[in-house]
Structure 1
Amino acid sequence: MEAYIPQGRFTLQWHITHRCNLRCRHCYQDDYSAFEGRAQLEKILDQYTELLTENKFKGLLNVTGGEPLTHPDLYWLLKTAADRGISTGVLTNGTLIGVEEAKKLRACGVDYVQISLDGCEKTHDEIRGKGSFDKAVRGINALK
């Protein structure tokens, strides 16, 4: 039996941290302090890049967490991946995105940012915490 090797795009959804600034009711993350150090990020990114090269895949790196914007090496990771020709996306709660963060994401060549909204303000805040809806909307507006 031959191994199945998919053609085309190979997506890596990478939880680079368990750290988060929110305490959502539905979240399965239970370690709010840990994150991968830069050396570990680089090692994993090198392995992913090698896999893409060997198999002639186009890469898509979805960076998430926890909350990826809490990671001190997020922008380095995104820029390094983009410099290697890997498309990048960030999956976030959006509450930590202001004008400066939006500029940094653009400068890193991020292809898209996905911000979680769980309904109208009341519903969203019941799930993610009071004021989180307004902060997420502020993040969306900063990305425009």
Structure 2
Amino acid sequence: MQEWIIFAISEIIARYYLKKLDQAELIRIKYPSLKCLFSVFLNQLCEIFHLTRSYKVVSIHFELTNHCNLKCNMCPVNRDMIREKGFMDFALFKKIVDSNLKLSYVALHNWGEPLLHPNIIDMIKYCTTREIKTMLYTNGLLLTTNMISDLLRSGLRRITVSLDGVGETYREIRGIAYEQIRENILKLIQLRDRQNKDLKIEISTVIFENTEDAVKRIKEEWSGLVDRIIFQPKFIRRENGRKSVCHELWRGNLIVLWNGTVVPCCIDSEGKLNMGNAWQQGISEIWNGDKMRAIRKKHSKGKFPNICNACCEYTTDITSPRFS
């Protein structure tokens, strides 16, 4: 009965609230119980009533590192990122997980390539033994046979490979041969089917002005092989682009950068919206701390910080409805 109710609720949320039908399955993965959905519901009520507090954190994105092994032409990491680079201390990771054991899931990515972290497998296992679901995004370059086998044994629930275009278009964006990543994904699928069918495999494609024609080719090549294909528009920064509050400030997710700095949004690549530090403070304390309450208050009054004002990530009037 619970599974049926969750299915119905997720379909309603995706269709009528988010207006993105492909998000229904992701909602079911992120919030697998009625208790999780109820927590998110309470968070949304806090936003609706313009409260500066929100009920609770339900998920965390960990930036295991902001180092990357590629230099993609749309990404700031190896081009113009100013902040210091490093790797998250395993002790910090364990500290956060141990004090937030009721999380519905954790994502092991933000800026950078998570598979570069020397403790990535141990981090996933640490969450698995505590019954916390894990997912991550990767560029796929490090998906060797050994890495894939380790991931399959770790308990990872979902892996998404970024695949922007095909053929020469992919090389122009990512700087490496498409065939190399294609082979790695096929190897991942093959080993998954043999060893751990519970792992979901996705492909995520950012749509650029010159890659819209690749959508059909990606669908033709990967439909039926991977569990889900995600098409999303390129992030657009514009002056005075924001017209409404950012739902993420209430929804129940925080991002912990590699050095412990906590920010409310993944778009903040430089960590300017510093809400606190997970070395010194608990996640729940930061979630309803003075800084988070202040930024919620600003959004509720239409007074957006500069980085928020230029963000169009959570408005739909600027992106093509084809990709919404």
Query: What TM-score, normalized to structure 1?
Result: 0.82
Mapped contact 1:88–1:110 kept (Cα < 8 A): yes
| Alpha-carbon distance, 1:10 to partner | 2.3
Mapped contact 1:115–1:136 kept (Cα < 8 A): no
1:45 paired residue number:
97
How many residue pairs get aligned? The number is 134
Partner Cα separation in structure 2 for residue 59 and residue 103 of structure 1: 25
Mapped contact 1:26–1:127 kept (Cα < 8 A): yes
Mapped contact 2:135–2:156 kept (Cα < 8 A): yes
Mapped contact 1:17–1:67 kept (Cα < 8 A): yes
| Alpha-carbon distance, 1:125 to partner | 1.1
| Alpha-carbon distance, 1:33 to partner | 4.8
1:126 paired residue number:
172
| Alpha-carbon distance, 1:46 to partner | 2.2
Where 1:48 maps in the other structure, the secondary structure is coil
Query: Of residues 13, 17, 25 in structure 1, which corresponds to 2:65?
Result: 17
Mapped contact 1:95–1:136 kept (Cα < 8 A): yes
Where 2:100 maps in the other structure, the secondary structure is helix
| Alpha-carbon distance, 1:28 to partner | 2.3
Instruction: Name the Cα RMSD after superposition.
Output: 2.2
Q: 1:135 to 1:15 in 2, by over 3 A?
A: farther
1:135 aligns with 2:185: no
Partner Cα separation in structure 1 for residue 170 and residue 61 of structure 2: 24
My pick for the range that moved more, 109-118 or 34-43, is 34-43
Where 1:101 maps in the other structure, the secondary structure is helix
Larger Rg computed on CA atoms: 2
Query: Of residues 84, 106, 113 in structure 2, which corresponds to 1:61?
Result: 106
| Alpha-carbon distance, 1:2 to partner | 9.0
My pick for the range that moved more, 29-38 or 61-70, is 29-38
Mapped contact 1:95–1:138 kept (Cα < 8 A): no
Q: C-alpha deviations, 1:22-70, integer Å up to 9, x for none?
A: 0111112236851112122222222332xx2xxxxx5211111410110
1:5 paired residue number:
55
After superposition, residues 87-126 of structure 1 pair within 5 angstroms as 87-126=133-172
1:55 paired residue number:
none
1:35 paired residue number:
87
Partner Cα separation in structure 1 for residue 84 and residue 184 of structure 2: 22
- Runs of 4+ in structure 1 deviating by more than 6 angstroms, as ranges, are none
Q: C-alpha deviations, 1:2-31, integer Å up to 9, x for none?
A: 94426xx92322211011110111112236
Larger fraction in strand: 1
Partner Cα separation in structure 1 for residue 52 and residue 176 of structure 2: 53
Mapped contact 2:63–2:88 kept (Cα < 8 A): no
Which amino acid is 2:71 matched to? R
Which amino acid is 1:112 matched to? R
Partner Cα separation in structure 2 for residue 130 and residue 75 of structure 1: 25
Partner Cα separation in structure 2 for residue 2 and residue 41 of structure 1: 28
Structure possessing the higher relative contact order (Cα contacts under 8 Å, 6 or more residues apart): 1
Which consecutive unaligned segments of at least 5 residues does structure 1 have?
Answer: 53-57
Where 1:36 maps in the other structure, the secondary structure is coil
Partner Cα separation in structure 2 for residue 41 and residue 12 of structure 1: 11
Partner Cα separation in structure 2 for residue 39 and residue 4 of structure 1: 28
Q: 1:38 to 1:85 in 2, by over 3 A?
A: same
Partner Cα separation in structure 2 for residue 130 and residue 120 of structure 1: 11
Mapped contact 2:105–2:133 kept (Cα < 8 A): yes
| Alpha-carbon distance, 1:80 to partner | 0.5
My pick for the range that moved more, 34-43 or 67-76, is 34-43
1:81 aligns with 2:130: no
Which amino acid is 1:104 matched to? D
| Alpha-carbon distance, 1:142 to partner | 2.0
